[in-house]
Amino acid sequence: MRKILLIIMLSIISLTSLLSQKIVVAVMQDPDFLDPHRAAASGTYEMMFNVFEGLLKPDSNGSVVPAVAESYHISEDGLTYTFTLRSGVKFHNGFEVTVDDVLYSLNRLKGNNQERGLSSDFEKFVSKIEAVDEKTIKVELSTLNTDFLEKFIIAIIPANNDNHEVNPIGTGPFKFVKYQPGQRLVIEKFDEYWNPELPIVDEVEFRIIPDNQAAIMSFMAGDVQILPRLDAIQAMVLGNRFNLITAEQNMVQLMAMNHAVSPFDDIRVRRAINHAVDKDEIIEIVAGGYGTKLGSNMSPIMSMYHQEGLEDYYETSLVRSRQLLSEAGYPDGFSTKITVPSNYQFHIDTAQIIVEQLKRVGIEAEIELVEWSVWLDKVYTSREYEMTIIGLTGKLSAYDILRRYVSDYPRNFYNYFNIEYDRVVKMAIEKTDIEEKASLFKQAQIILTEDAAAVYIMDPNFFVALAPNLFGYKVYPLYVQDMSTLYYR
Amino acid sequence: MYVYLKKLFAMILTVLLVSLIAFVAFEVIPGNPALSRLGVDAEESQFEALSAELGLNDPLGERLSRWFKGLLTGDLGTSMRYSVPVSDLILDRIPVTLSLALMAMMFITLVGIPLGIVSAKYGHRLPDILISMISQIGMAIPSFWSGIILMYIFGIVLRWVSPGGYVPWSEDAVGAFKSLLLPAIAIALPSIASIIRYTRNSVMDQMKSDYVQLALSKGLNINSVLYKHVLKNSLIPIVTVLGMIAANILGGSIVIEQVFTLPGLGRLLINAISTRDLPLVQGMVLYIAFIIVIINFLIDIVYTVIDPRIRLGA
C-alpha cells in the first residue's frame, strides 16, 4: 500500500514538473504595440522576438540568418534582394506561409499611393516588391543601401489576420496567448515551428514589474526565473547563489552636449570636457568595473565596424582640459546643467561622478532629474537641454547606429552638423564591398571622436540572473530575450 | 431629498472642474503620450501615425469637447498607452484594490478600535503608555518600508507567502488571500496607529463628560459604562476618520502596489500619469470622485445609526 502511494506521489511530482515547464521573466515595461510593424520600443521587441520572425532573423553573433526564407541572394549592384521561402513554415493559426503573405507584409511596410507605409526605411529605399514564383520574392531598392539586409528581420505576418494588434500571429517558436496591460504578456510553445527541436519549454510569462527591487525580491523567492538586464550593483545584491551571466550589450552610454547651445558649440569646450571626464573611474564606481570603455558611438561588440583605439583619444588630463577652456575663453570654467532621466539609476550615478570630475576644471554642473516622458519630449525631441546622459541600445546595422548624427536625421538630438560626416555615412551604405563599407563606417567614428560630438563613456555589461536549474540562455548583442533555447535540468 | 440633489449637483460640478484642471495640466506639463509610448527607437513616421491616431494634433477645445461628449454617453474613451477602453482597464483593477481595501479596513477596525479603548481605559498608565509608544512607531514608519520588511521576512526568509505577483480570486482563493495579506497589513499599520489615537482621545473626552461621571459615581462598573454609553458616543469622529482612510485606500495604494507588484488602481494611476495617458487619468479621476461620494453617503448613514438625533440630509 505504502509503495503504491509512494509511486503515485512520485508520478504526481514528476508529472507536475513535466507540466510546469514554465518560465517567468521579469520585464520593466509594457509593450507599445503588439502589431510588429507598428511597434518601435526595444522593450516590445525583447518579448515579441519569440513570436515573430522575418525572412531573416538575428542570431547571437549579431549577424542575420535565414528564417521564413530559406536562402537569399543579393545582386552584384546591391539593388536587388531575392529570397527563397522555406517550405513548411506555418503561422500560429495553422496556415502555411505563402508568397502572398510575404508580399502583404512587405507592402504594408512600404505603403502605396493611397496609404503611408509603416516603415520609413521601406518607404524610402524600396521601389518594387514582386513574387517571381510561388517560392521566390524579389525586392528592389531605389537607392543603394548596403545595410538594408538587416531590415528583413521585420515580421512576416498573415494576410488573412484582420487585427494584428489584438490577435498577433507570427511564425516564431512561441505563439501569443494573452496580454494584460501593466501585468503580463504570456506566450506558449508553438508545436509546428519549422525547427522541430525548438522551443523546449511550454510557456513563458513576461511579468511586468517596473520596480527593480520588487523584481529582485520575486526572483529571490522563486516566483520569477529570469531577471534580464541587471546592472553590476544589483547583481552584487543577488550574490553568487544564482546563475549569473554577464555580457557586453552593444549599448553606447554617452553624455551628449547640445551643439546648438553655447558654450558647447565650441569644439574646444567639448574637447576640454572629454579631457576632464575620467571614464575608467566611472566604469569602476558605477559599473563595478563591468563595462567596456568607448571612444566613439560604436560598441566593440560590433567587431566588424568598430574603430579601435579611440577610447583613449582624449586622455584624462586636467592640464589639457584647463588649457582648452582658457583658449575658448573660459579660464575659470562655467556653470551648466546635466539633464538625466530619473528612472535610470545607472545614468544618475554616472552624472554624479561626472559632476565631481568637471568641478576639477572649474565647470559647475548641476544635475536636473526629469521624468522619462519629459526627457523624451524636452531633450530627445525638442532638444532643449545643455548636457544629458543616456544609453542608446544597439542595432544590427552600423548605419542605424551612426545615422543618429546625420544632419537631417529627425532625432539628431545632439544637434550635430558635419557635412563631411553626412557624406562618409552616405558613401558607406553605397559600398557593396564589405571591407570598403567597414572602413568608411570606421572613418565616421573617427570624425565623431575628433569633433568631440559627445563624451562616449562605456558599453555597460549587463547581467542576466537565471534560476539555478535553468540552462541554455543565449546572449545577443541586441535587445532581445530568446526563450526558445532555454530548458530546465 | 432636496439636500441630496444639491449635494449631487455640487459633486458633478466638482468632478467637471477637476477634469478640466487635469486637461489643462496635461497641456502645460512637458511630455507627449505618443513619444512616451514609442520611446527612443521610433521612426518619425511611426510617431506621426500614432499622434494622428491619438488625435494629439487636434486643438485643445476639440479634444475637450470630444471627451465630454463621450462621458455623456457613458464612454470614458480609449487609453492612449494601451489602446483599450479606459473603463475595461479600471474595472479590471477594481477587484484587487477592493479586496486589499476590505482586508486592510478589517485589520484597522478590529485592531485599532479595541486597542484605542484599552489605551483610554488605562489612561496614562502602563498599558496606555505601551500602546501609545507602539502606535507612535507605527505612524512614523512609512508603509513602503514596513512592506519591504514584511516581504523580506515572510516572503523570502520564511517563504510563507509569495512576495510579489497577484493571484486572482477566481484562480485560487487561498493564493489570492496569501498574496494580499502582507500588502493589506502594510497598508493597515499606519492607519491602525492613527485609529488607536483617535479612539483613545475620543473615548477619553467622553470619559470626562458629566454623564459618565454620574454613571461612575452611582457605582456602575467601568466596563459597562465604557461599552454601553461611551463607545457609542465616541464613535462619530472615528467613523469619519475610517471613511477617509477607506477612500484613500480605494483610490489605490500607489506605493504598496508598486512594492508588491499588485495590479491595482494605484499602479494604473502612476502608469497613466507617467505615460501622459490623459483619457486614463480622467477616468481615474472620475472613479476616485465616485468613491468619495459613495463613502460620504455611507458615513452619513452610519452617523444616523450611531446617533439617531442626526437625520439624513439635515
In this prediction, residues A116-129 reach a mean pLDDT of: 87
Q: pLDDT tens digits, residue range B4-57?
A: 788 778 878 888 888 888 888 888 888 889 988 888 888 888 888 888 888 888
B260: exposed, middle or buried (Cβ count in 10 Å: 0-12, 13-18, 19+): buried
- Strand partners of residue A140: A80, A128
In this prediction, residues A448-459 reach a mean pLDDT of: 94
CB contact under 8 A, B261 and A214: yes
Nearest 10 degrees: Cα torsion B113, B118, B119, B124: 160
Poorest-confidence range of A111-115, A398-402, A418-422, B33-37? Answer: A111-115
Q: A121 — contact with chain B (CB < 8 Å)?
A: yes
Q: Which residue of B has its CA nearest to A206?
A: B165
Q: A117 — contact with chain B (CB < 8 Å)?
A: yes
A197: exposed, middle or buried (Cβ count in 10 Å: 0-12, 13-18, 19+): exposed
Q: Which residue of B has its CA nearest to A380?
A: B40
Residue A101: closest CA among A72, A67, A141, A135: A135
Q: Which residue has the higher pLDDT, B312 or A284?
A: A284
Q: Are B280 and B89 in contact (CB under 8 A)?
A: yes
CB contact under 8 A, A372 and B259: no
Q: Which residue has the higher pLDDT, A306 or A212?
A: A306
Residue A346: closest CA among A460, A455, A247, A214: A460
Q: In this complex, how many residue pairs, one in chain A and one in chain B, have their CB atoms less than 8 Å apart?
A: 134
> Measured between alpha carbons, how far is A394 from A294 in angstroms, rounded to an integer?
14
> Measured between alpha carbons, how far is A140 from A138 in angstroms, rounded to an integer?
7
Q: Are A230 and A462 in contact (CB under 8 A)?
A: yes
User: Residue B72: what pLDDT?
Assistant: 85
Q: A46 — contact with chain B (CB < 8 Å)?
A: no
In 3-state terms, what secondary structure has residue B182?
A: helix
Q: Which residue of A has its CA nearest to B159?
A: A221
* The three cell numbers locating residue A340: 538625466
Mean of per-residue pLDDT scores for chain A: 89
Residue B274: closest CA among A375, A438, A60: A375
User: Residue A15: what pLDDT?
Assistant: 47
Percentage of the residues of chain A whose pLDDT score is greater than 70: 96
Residue B314: count other Cβ atoms within 10 Å of its Cβ: 9
Closest Cβ opposite residue B43 in set A119, A165, A376: A119
> Mutate which of A25, A374, A383, A395 to disrupt the B interface (most B C-beta within 10 Å)?
A374
CA distance A218 to chain B (A): 5
The pairing of strands A335-341 and A364-370 is: parallel
Percentage of the residues of chain A whose pLDDT score is greater than 90: 58
The pairing of strands A184-189 and A174-180 is: antiparallel
CB contact under 8 A, A217 and B164: yes
User: Residue B285: what pLDDT?
Assistant: 87
User: Residue B164: what pLDDT?
Assistant: 66
> Measured between alpha carbons, how far is B76 from B74 in angstroms, rounded to an integer?
6
Q: Is the pLDDT reported for residue A26 higher than 70? A: yes
A414: exposed, middle or buried (Cβ count in 10 Å: 0-12, 13-18, 19+): buried
- Name the band, by pLDDT with cuts 50, 70 and 90, for residue A277: very high
Closest Cβ opposite residue B274 in set A33, A117, A371: A371
CA distance A408 to chain B (A): 12
Q: Are B270 and B254 in contact (CB under 8 A)?
A: yes
The DSSP H or E segment spanning B13 is helix B2-28
- Would you tell me which residues 351-380 of chain A have a C-beta closer than 8 angstroms to some C-beta of chain B? 371-374, 376-378, 380
Q: Is the pLDDT reported for residue A13 higher than 50? A: no
* The three cell numbers locating residue B11: 459633486
> Measured between alpha carbons, how far is B232 from B234 in angstroms, rounded to an integer?
6
> Mutate which of B32, B35, B36, B41 to disrupt the A interface (most A C-beta within 10 Å)?
B41
CB neighbour list of residue A285: distance below 8 Å, 6 or more residues apart: A349, A353
Residue B6: count other Cβ atoms within 10 Å of its Cβ: 11
User: Residue A314: what pLDDT?
Assistant: 93
Q: pLDDT tens digits, residue range A133-143?
A: 989 999 999 98
Residue A356: count other Cβ atoms within 10 Å of its Cβ: 11
Residues belonging to chain A:
489
* The three cell numbers locating residue B97: 484594490
Q: A119 — contact with chain B (CB < 8 Å)?
A: yes
> Measured between alpha carbons, how far is A81 from A64 in angstroms, rounded to an integer?
14
Collect all residues of chain B within an 8 Å Cβ-Cβ radius of residue A376: 31-32, 35-36, 39-40
Collect all residues of chain B within an 8 Å Cβ-Cβ radius of residue A30: 81-82, 271
Closest Cβ opposite residue B162 in set A33, A211, A221: A221
In this prediction, residues A253-273 reach a mean pLDDT of: 94
Tell me if ipTM is over 0.85: no
> Measured between alpha carbons, how far is B141 from B155 in angstroms, rounded to an integer?
20
Residue recorded with cell 475610517:
B242
Q: A43 — contact with chain B (CB < 8 Å)?
A: yes
Q: Which residue of A has its CA nearest to B92?
A: A180
User: Residue A19: what pLDDT?
Assistant: 55
- Name the band, by pLDDT with cuts 50, 70 and 90, for residue A1: low
User: Residue A478: what pLDDT?
Assistant: 86
CB burial string A88-116: b at 16+ within 10 A, e below: ebbbbeeeebbbebbebbbbbbbbeeeee
Nearest 10 degrees: Cα torsion B125, B128, B129, B134: 160
The pairing of strands A203-208 and A291-293 is: unpaired
Residue A463: closest CA among A238, A289, A229, A280: A229
- What is the CA A460 to chain-centroid distance, rounded? 13
CB contact under 8 A, A217 and B40: no
CB contact under 8 A, A40 and B39: yes
- Name the band, by pLDDT with cuts 50, 70 and 90, for residue A16: very low
User: Residue B16: what pLDDT?
Assistant: 83
* C-alpha distances in Å from residue A390, one per residue of A344, A372, A402: 9, 11, 16
CA torsion sign for A287, A290, A295, A297 is negative
The DSSP H or E segment spanning B5 is helix B2-28
In this prediction, residues A91-102 reach a mean pLDDT of: 92
Collect all residues of chain A within an 8 Å Cβ-Cβ radius of residue B266: none
- Would you tell me which residues 159-218 of chain A have a C-beta closer than 8 angstroms to some C-beta of chain B? 165, 180-183, 207, 209-211, 213-215, 217-218
CB contact under 8 A, A214 and B41: no
B124: exposed, middle or buried (Cβ count in 10 Å: 0-12, 13-18, 19+): exposed
Closest Cβ opposite residue B37 in set A32, A217, A221: A32
Report residues of chain B scoring pLDDT below 50: 314
Q: pLDDT tens digits, residue range A324-345?
A: 999 999 999 999 999 999 988 8
- What is the CA A19 to chain-centroid distance, rounded? 33
Q: Is the pLDDT reported for residue A447 higher than 90? A: yes
Q: pLDDT tens digits, residue range A387-416?
A: 999 998 888 888 989 999 999 998 899 999
In 3-state terms, what secondary structure has residue A18?
A: helix
CB contact under 8 A, B261 and A207: yes
CA distance B261 to chain A (A): 6
* The three cell numbers locating residue B63: 479634444
CB burial string A47-56: b at 16+ within 10 A, e below: bbbbbbbbbb
Task: Estimate the crossing angle of helix B86-107 against helix B278-306, to 10 degrees.
Answer: 40
* Amino acid at the residue B313: G
CB contact under 8 A, B163 and A40: no
CA distance A5 to chain B (A): 26
